[in-house]
Amino acid sequence: MKFGIIGAGRIGKIHAANVAARADCEVRFVADVDAAAAEALARATGAAVASIDEIVGSAEVDAVAICAPTDMHADLIEKAARAGKAIFCEKPIDLDAGRIRRCLEVVKATGATLMVGFNRRFDPNFAALQARVAGGMIGDLEIVSITSRDPGPPPLSYIARSGGLFRDMMIHDFDMARFLLGEEPIAVSAMGSALVDKAIGEAGDIDTAVVVMETKSGRVAQISNSRRASYGYDQRVEAHGSKGMIRAGNVRETTVEFASAQGFVGDKILNFFLERYAAAYRGELDAFVGALKSGGRPTPDGEDGLRANLLADAAYLSWRTRQRVAIA
Amino acid sequence: MKFGIIGAGRIGKIHAANVAARADCEVRFVADVDAAAAEALARATGAAVASIDEIVGSAEVDAVAICAPTDMHADLIEKAARAGKAIFCEKPIDLDAGRIRRCLEVVKATGATLMVGFNRRFDPNFAALQARVAGGMIGDLEIVSITSRDPGPPPLSYIARSGGLFRDMMIHDFDMARFLLGEEPIAVSAMGSALVDKAIGEAGDIDTAVVVMETKSGRVAQISNSRRASYGYDQRVEAHGSKGMIRAGNVRETTVEFASAQGFVGDKILNFFLERYAAAYRGELDAFVGALKSGGRPTPDGEDGLRANLLADAAYLSWRTRQRVAIA
Amino acid sequence: MKFGIIGAGRIGKIHAANVAARADCEVRFVADVDAAAAEALARATGAAVASIDEIVGSAEVDAVAICAPTDMHADLIEKAARAGKAIFCEKPIDLDAGRIRRCLEVVKATGATLMVGFNRRFDPNFAALQARVAGGMIGDLEIVSITSRDPGPPPLSYIARSGGLFRDMMIHDFDMARFLLGEEPIAVSAMGSALVDKAIGEAGDIDTAVVVMETKSGRVAQISNSRRASYGYDQRVEAHGSKGMIRAGNVRETTVEFASAQGFVGDKILNFFLERYAAAYRGELDAFVGALKSGGRPTPDGEDGLRANLLADAAYLSWRTRQRVAIA
Amino acid sequence: MKFGIIGAGRIGKIHAANVAARADCEVRFVADVDAAAAEALARATGAAVASIDEIVGSAEVDAVAICAPTDMHADLIEKAARAGKAIFCEKPIDLDAGRIRRCLEVVKATGATLMVGFNRRFDPNFAALQARVAGGMIGDLEIVSITSRDPGPPPLSYIARSGGLFRDMMIHDFDMARFLLGEEPIAVSAMGSALVDKAIGEAGDIDTAVVVMETKSGRVAQISNSRRASYGYDQRVEAHGSKGMIRAGNVRETTVEFASAQGFVGDKILNFFLERYAAAYRGELDAFVGALKSGGRPTPDGEDGLRANLLADAAYLSWRTRQRVAIA
């Protein structure tokens, strides 16, 4: 399977390297407005540099990986869909639900295959947790708790065009909640504030938030987000059910523990998302390639991308209006 | 210091035994409508059986411990306050905020000392956590997360007169949140349902709930409750701040761990609240006696009891109306 | 059951308090050469002060707890045995195996009941581990590993008359190894040195030691001792068998864990043996009283005391001669 | 840097893949008596098949990785040393110390660079532990404890030509002990037996063993080995010193933990050495390539290989003769 990589930045490099490392795949082309970046990634993966149009138009390309800036995602998906390419697109499809819907109509009309990059579903820890929940290990699921804290806030310039904490950061947790709940949330209530950096608040965003949601059958979920965690990239999931509780925790830098008069000290947790989720990115690609090979449809798909976005919109509205918000 | 124990049930026995075990205190009288229960507890603690009026009226009694049914608490507090006794009262003061307020006016007018039995503040784990948070270990507090799950639901007969999950069970967590937050919550949003037992739902109550709260400065708190946890009495607290995160976990039955082809198996957590909180009940009494001896005012006091109740009322209203509720 | 407590020091106080706290027992007399100490302990437990001869000669006394200095143990056991008292004696019976043997002949001849205070068998963690091993949880036992480290060395004056590390400190681990192995060790090899304090070495003793032992069927055991552990009183046991591994760990001061840029910090382990083994001392008394009430023989008994001492002697010899030593 | 891989079996594949994955290295040739194996590995790594003599004689080859059977190691090292190649050789150099010494003389005479594959030094957990010990974190080192248990015994055919448990399995632990102790052991005492499989005993070997060692300054070390661990590949190291204790533990399959009425269940530890030590094999190659590039000498070297072997010989002798054995 031959890939065109659109976007040679941090995440593009990850996906390109994972494609190149597979015996059954190759990176055929790399595109980026930054010619040097495209050239470097092409060289590293044995690919050629090309324009987006060349990639999408090439009969040699089976699939595209869209790793360009968010505001290009929907256009690129539509272009690739119309060209008959299988599409892997980084989250989100777009920050605007209306735009996402129009994009998905094109995808549907063309019959294209679209997978959206909610990588955490493929983290070995969370994937194992979800499989055990789905397999009945905890009985009937009742409560989902998700904790997600970044090591530090992104630059203010990023904040400004990010869509805000709910659409940029917590969207991963909304997807994780849906992944685990097995039902759609019907209501969201959000609280939050700018405690990490006042400038984030002045930019109209928040950096600290908690959300609760419920489903029709009465399952409840809670999410906690912070843009800062001094101890690393804090990523935890817990599910509680009629037969027990299951949780997946963080990954430490090493298993070393030191004991002294100050107590027992363990290592920090992995700090960098590309390291923490290295296996998840590989697993995500496995799922994409595996589905294409078997003729199946990979998940999470465009609908999953839309629904996570709708939950983020509802949370944003709840936070803004200080009201609980029902999901249509 | 001589105590009169009012109520010789499960919790009365705990407090009486703790009083009797102190070198500086003794149980002078025990009262209970169940004469046999009163007699047994009096015998075990070297006390005499007496009526409530005899206890309150006795010049030998310095302090009363009110361990009677909830609907008697406010009346007993007022009676003891007027008699000039120091008062330790099990939570809650009453299920009705208006009744609590009237009771506290009597306490105030009489100048009586009143401590309310939110025992978890005195759990060595939670007390250490709170002390470290208050001491600045995690910097500015931002997020409080409280998980509280009972091993199993109480009898339906108890549910019916309990005041409901928010006032009966989560009230401990509201107090813990206040204890940690250092600020009053200004808004509450609650979701919940009857997932453990439909009969609880038919009785108008719930057994599964999540709540979020925020304070004026933007701190946020989340609480998760279930009336059932197959793995024991799940009691956890976590606080996140600008300099780090701190948490206090459960206590295992033993430290034994078994490893086999099925993985690593640790013991269940302590299942019974009287065992889990045995040290907390002793610490609570330490605080009460210590304050009286030093001429100070023990906390949590009546105001704390009222405020936890108001949060429970707000959560109940939020759940009922499906609206976020502001706290006056 | 009425007890005479011989010795009102640190360990005598523990046993006296545990006796006094039982509904079915009482402390009748306390003896100590230090009259003030005897008086204080008698007052605290509702007992009377008496001489050793008065205690042993009193018809009111059912059992004696020998908490006097080690060099009095054997004489006191013989005296109490001849007086027909049930005997609980702190470890060791004596530092000299020949003296122990003669003492046990007297015990045997009189038919007296003698329990020796290897308290760690009654620690809830180690007791649970042993019960599970004995119950077959790990299949056939193959390897026992015991780690035992004191928070800090005792005074040199104590070292001098202690019998040395093997007989004073590791003797507990020899007993624990026997308790778990279910077979007698047939060979011991010991290495050790004075690393914590050179003065200990100059006094002819060591403060750091490792020992290996094997049984006839080929089971092996290893013990590690240090007279100093900066992180608390380190007490761990691990057993490995055909079906798995089981271990019992230390007890932390609290369950609180703090995470920051320096990593995850948990509390120290309990530092003081009286606190760490508080439940063990109670459990030991339960076993003694329970056996007497049921007409059974409590363990560990005199033979257990002797065998642990013989292992300590062999380890000492191995260390001294730099040879492996066979056990007769 | 161009490598010739000698031996295309399980471990040869690992090293070849790690070489091929580096931007600064390539696999130039692969040799194996099994032509199909050589061909497959050459294809996977973009190399050519060659004979051993062709590899050693090729001007294109900078370094050889000796992954052939143990009885060929010494001959291959000598051949490669004389040809001026840098040499990475899997442990052990030989099962016979005399043969190792003669081999090392050739290495010395030729000035060749030789690194021996004690991969565990490069495990991120053990490497971090060693660095912290060497950096003074625990003060003066006093006790080293190493636990090493294989998931299951190798085939009897392997046992027969393995050199026995001490030279085949515990040799890794002897190297680890030397790595940590910072001093040479001067005495060894070993005990062991065939408990996992009687056939291993009938073949003259053992499958369960414990060893103690001491150094001139009085540091002590203990090692525990079993050829079977139902719960995975158990690899732990602990070091105790004047300022504290440090340990490195196992790696779990995932961080998932399940809590139910049966307790808390965590995943098994990684079961397969190639998975457990994947990062160690990469780190080992980093060290080899890094040393060559910088003109330094990689460690562990031939002398380390010899010394681990001498300890294994001494342990074997100790086990055989039931005597403690001094190291010359």
**The pLDDT of residue A328:** 82
Give me the mean pLDDT over the C234-257 stretch: 97
Q: Do A260 and D254 touch (CB under 8 A)?
A: no
- Whether chain B has a CB inside 8 Å of the CB on A125: the answer is no
Give me the mean pLDDT over the C42-48 stretch: 96
Nearest CA in chain D to A258: D246
Q: Do C193 and D218 touch (CB under 8 A)?
A: yes
**The pLDDT of residue B258:** 98
Q: Dump pLDDT digits (tens) for C141-171.
A: 999 999 999 999 999 999 999 999 999 999 9
Beta-bridge partners for D27:
D3
Q: Dump pLDDT digits (tens) for A145-198.
A: 999 999 999 999 999 999 999 999 999 999 999 999 999 999 999 999 999 999
Distance CA B279, CA B126 (A): 11
Q: Dump pLDDT digits (tens) for B147-196.
A: 999 999 999 999 999 999 999 999 999 999 999 999 999 999 999 999 99
Give me the mean pLDDT over the A264-288 stretch: 95
| Mean of the per-residue pLDDT values of chain B | 97
The whole-angstrom distance between D265's CA and the closest CA on chain B is 4
The whole-angstrom distance between A218's CA and the closest CA on chain B is 5
Q: Which of A13, A233, A258 to mutate to test the interface with D (most CBs of D within 10 A)?
A: A258
Indicate the fold that domain C121-326 takes in CATH: Dihydrodipicolinate Reductase; domain 2 (3.30.360)
Q: Which of B129, B132, B141, B142 to mutate to test the interface with A (most CBs of A within 10 A)?
A: B142
Q: Do D138 and A245 touch (CB under 8 A)?
A: no
The whole-angstrom distance between C264's CA and the closest CA on chain A is 5
Q: Do D220 and C140 touch (CB under 8 A)?
A: no
- Whether chain B has a CB inside 8 Å of the CB on D236: the answer is no
Q: How confident is the model at residue B328 (pLDDT cuts 50, 70, 90)?
A: confident
What percent of chain D clears pLDDT 90, i.e. is strictly above it?
Answer: 97
Distance CA D298, CA D284 (A): 9
| Residue found by looking up tokens 């304090």 in the block | C197
Nearest CA in chain C to B235: C255
**The pLDDT of residue A205:** 98
Is A124 a residue whose pLDDT tops 90?
yes
Give me the mean pLDDT over the D182-208 stretch: 97
Q: Do C231 and A267 touch (CB under 8 A)?
A: no
Give me the mean pLDDT over the D219-234 stretch: 97
| Mean of the per-residue pLDDT values of chain A | 97
Do C311 and C213 form a contact (C-beta atoms < 8 A)?
yes
- Whether chain D has a CB inside 8 Å of the CB on A250: the answer is yes
Distance CA C182, CA A240 (A): 42
ipTM: 0.95
Q: How confident is the model at residue C78 (pLDDT cuts 50, 70, 90)?
A: very high
- Whether chain B has a CB inside 8 Å of the CB on C43: the answer is no
Stated as kind and residue range, the H or E segment containing D208 is strand D208-215
Indicate the fold that domain D2-112 takes in CATH: Rossmann fold (3.40.50)
CATH 3.30.360.10 location in chain B: 121-326
Q: Dump pLDDT digits (tens) for B44-100.
A: 999 999 999 999 999 999 999 999 999 999 999 999 999 999 999 999 999 999 999
| Mean of the per-residue pLDDT values of chain D | 97
Instruction: Select from B260, B261, B265 the Cβ nearest to the Cβ of D264.
Output: B265
Where is pLDDT greater, at A274 or C170? C170
Helix axes C10-21, C278-294, angle to 10 degrees: 60
CATH 3.40.50.720 location in chain B: 2-112
What percent of chain B clears pLDDT 90, i.e. is strictly above it?
Answer: 97
Distance CA A115, CA A298 (A): 6
Q: Do C247 and B261 touch (CB under 8 A)?
A: no
Do A282 and A18 form a contact (C-beta atoms < 8 A)?
yes
Q: How confident is the model at residue D328 (pLDDT cuts 50, 70, 90)?
A: confident
Q: How confident is the model at residue A300 (pLDDT cuts 50, 70, 90)?
A: very high
Cβ-Cβ contacts under 8 Å, D147 against chain C: 145
Q: How confident is the model at residue C24 (pLDDT cuts 50, 70, 90)?
A: very high
Nearest CA in chain D to A126: D256
Strand A114-117's sheet: what is its strand order?
A48-49, A26-31, A2-6, A63-66, A86-90, A114-117
- Whether chain C has a CB inside 8 Å of the CB on A54: the answer is no
Give me the mean pLDDT over the D95-111 stretch: 98
- Whether chain D has a CB inside 8 Å of the CB on B301: the answer is no
Stated as kind and residue range, the H or E segment containing D289 is helix D278-294
Cβ-Cβ contacts under 8 Å, C245 against chain B: 258-260
Q: Dump pLDDT digits (tens) for A66-106.
A: 999 999 999 999 999 999 999 999 999 999 999 999 999 99
Q: How confident is the model at residue C328 (pLDDT cuts 50, 70, 90)?
A: confident
Is C118 a residue whose pLDDT tops 90?
yes
- Whether chain C has a CB inside 8 Å of the CB on A249: the answer is no
Give me the mean pLDDT over the C93-121 stretch: 98
The whole-angstrom distance between C180's CA and the closest CA on chain D is 17
- Whether chain B has a CB inside 8 Å of the CB on D267: the answer is yes
Q: How confident is the model at residue D184 (pLDDT cuts 50, 70, 90)?
A: very high
Q: Is the peptide bond before C155 cis (omega within 30 degrees of 0)?
A: no
Buried b (16+ CB within 10 A) or exposed e, C184-202: ebebbbbbbbbbbbeebbe
Distance CA A251, CA A235 (A): 9
Q: Do D224 and C222 touch (CB under 8 A)?
A: yes
**What is the rounded radius of gyration, in angstroms, for the C-alpha atoms of chain D?**
20
Give me the mean pLDDT over the D259-274 stretch: 94
Cβ-Cβ contacts under 8 Å, A152 against chain C: none
**The pLDDT of residue D207:** 98
Compute φ and ψ for D6, nearest 5 degrees: -105, 105
